[in-house]
Amino acid sequence: MVTMTYREAVRDAMAQAMRADPDVFVMGEDIAEMGGSMGVTQGMLEEFGPERVRNTPISEMAIVGAGIGAAMQGMRPIVEIMYEDFTTLAMEQIVNQAAKHRYMSGGQLSVPLTIRTQGGAGWSPGAQHAQQVEAWFCHVPGLKVVYPSTPADARALLWSSIYDDNCVLFFEHRLLYPLKGEVPDELEPLELGSARVHREGEDVTVVAIGRLVHEALKAAEAAEAEGISVEVLDPRTLLPLDEDALVRSVRKTSRCVVAHEAVVRMGFGAEIAAVVQERAFDHLDAPVERVGAKFCPVPFAPVMEQWVVPHMEDVLAAIRRTVGRE
């Protein structure tokens, strides 16, 4: 095992794929000399050159559209959208083109395009640079949606995303980039659609994604001091979703809390809650609790931002409610 930051793990997956396969290349705004707005592609221009690490115009529609065209011609492009908020500018390309061509061609065409993007609050980027929009894309047949929370998962899942024959939205949280963790010496691909249990427990399952995985783990430790045993499950891939792992965990604990940074209303947690009630209703001893941001644009002022988005204390409060401690 070696220790990497989340940022290094993402970079390593791209670099290893590019060394192994000349059809893999990267493009996006300021990703070459600058190394990307978050420094993820630093050093890649020097190794792979400007043909394979390409700066683009400031046009998300053009970036994704060019990626779709390259993918349909047999390449495996990785495009970076600087902030996930800006996927709104490429929705037509993602939703009506990338997601549809394989189906509409009867499998004669494929779009092996990986769209990397990042976002999230916690550093006052403001309402137009801090949204969490993963749930939007989970509603679109033909896409896959990945949201890793650890360096090891980011590295393995990005490799698998690059080599999937469908368009994959790969979400990264800004605050996770400096997070350090152990990863295998050799890159081991991870199947899309496989959840991970970070912590075993008996009394309640917390299903968390992205940054909230780490908030849930802290909440689980605090709950343990109160005599509550918490299982923390990370779907890792939102689409396809590992429903079996989710249901298996809830049937064991009989309670469920869902936690994500996106707003609660229509967030991905609603889908988790629906799956639980459809497949594990008879095992539930309490309603499913949802934890997420308040229904508000993310404020710029740090104290207001921290009030809007969820933290460990919010997850812990939901755990207490579902076991009848509040």
The answer to whether residue 258 sits within a structural domain is: yes
138 with 16, same domain: the answer is yes
**Whether residues 177 and 203 fall in one domain:** no
For residue 12, give the nearest of 41, 33, 37, 38 by alpha carbon: 41
Q: Beta-strand (E) ranges in 275-323?
A: 289-293
SS3 state at 280: helix
Among candidate residues 159, 183, 207, the one where a domain is terminated: 183
Specify the pLDDT at position 290.
98
Q: Are residues 202 and 146 in the same domain?
A: no
**Separation CA 264–CA 175 (nearest Å):** 20
- Claim to verify: residue 163 and residue 213 sit in the same structural domain: no
255-295 confidence digits (pLDDT tens):
999 999 999 999 999 999 999 999 999 999 999 999 999 99
Cis status, amide bond into 240, omega within 30 of 0: yes
Q: Are 250 and 276 in contact (CB under 8 A)?
A: yes
Amino acid, res. 135:
A
Residue-level pLDDT at 257: 98
Mean pLDDT score, 90-112: 97
Query: Both 157 and 203 in a single domain?
Result: no
pTM value is 0.97
The reported pLDDT for the residue numbered 270 is 97
Active site residue 92: no
Query: What integer pLDDT is reported at residue 240 of this predicted model?
Result: 98
| DSSP SS3 for 117 | strand
Q: Determine the average pLDDT of the residues in 95-115.
A: 97
Is it the case that residue 127 has pLDDT exceeding 80? yes
CATH of the domain at 158: 3.40.50.970
> Looking at the predicted structure, is the pLDDT value of residue 312 above 90?
yes
| Residue type (1 letter), 11 | R
Q: Please, what is the Cα angle at 316 between 311 and 317, to 5 degrees?
A: 100
Domain of residue 305 covers 196-322
Decide if 251 is inside a domain: yes
pLDDT above 80 for 305: yes
Residue type, 202: E
Please give the backbone phi and psi of residue 179, each rounded to the nearest 5 degrees, phi first: -60, 130
- Estimate to the nearest angstrom the gap between the alpha carbon of 87 and the chain centroid: 14
- Give the pLDDT of residue 199: 98
Alpha carbon distance 7, 141 (integer Å): 29
For residue 300, being part of any structural domain is answered with yes
- In this structure, the answer to whether residues 145 and 268 fall within a common structural domain is no
Average pLDDT of the chain is: 97
Quick check: is 190 in a domain? no
Check whether 326 has a pLDDT greater than 90: no
pLDDT tens digit sequence for 175-234: 999 999 999 999 999 999 999 999 999 999 999 999 999 999 999 999 999 999 999 999
Residues 206 and 107 occupy one common structural domain: no
The CATH number of whichever domain residue 250 belongs to comes to 3.40.50.920
Please report whether residue 191 resides in a domain.
no
Residues 142 and 245 in one domain: no
End position of a domain, from candidates 183, 211, 226:
183
In this structure, is residue 252 part of a structural domain? yes
129, 198, 260, 311: the catalytic one is 129
Is there a single domain that holds both residue 179 and residue 208? no
Q: With 80 as the cut, is the pLDDT of residue 325 above it?
A: no
Domain match, 150 and 292 both: no
Q: In terms of domains, do 236 and 143 share one? A: no
Question: Structural domain tally of the chain?
Answer: 2
Rounded average pLDDT over 30-57: 97
For the question of residue 172 being annotated catalytic, the response is no
How do beta strands 230-234 and 53-55 pair?
unpaired
> What b/e string do you get for 92-121 counting C-beta neighbours within 10 Å, with b at 16 or more?
ebbbebbbbbbeeeeeeebbbbbbbbbbbb
- Looking at the structure, tell me whether residues 165 and 257 fall in a common domain: no
Averaged pLDDT for residues 284-311: 97
Residue 101 lies in a domain: yes
- Structure tokens belonging to residue 93: 């390309």
Write down the catalytic residue from 8, 29, 60, 243.
60
Helices 6-20, 151-162: axis angle to 10 degrees equals 30
Q: Last residue of a domain, which of 143, 162, 183?
A: 183
Domain-embedded: residue 130: yes
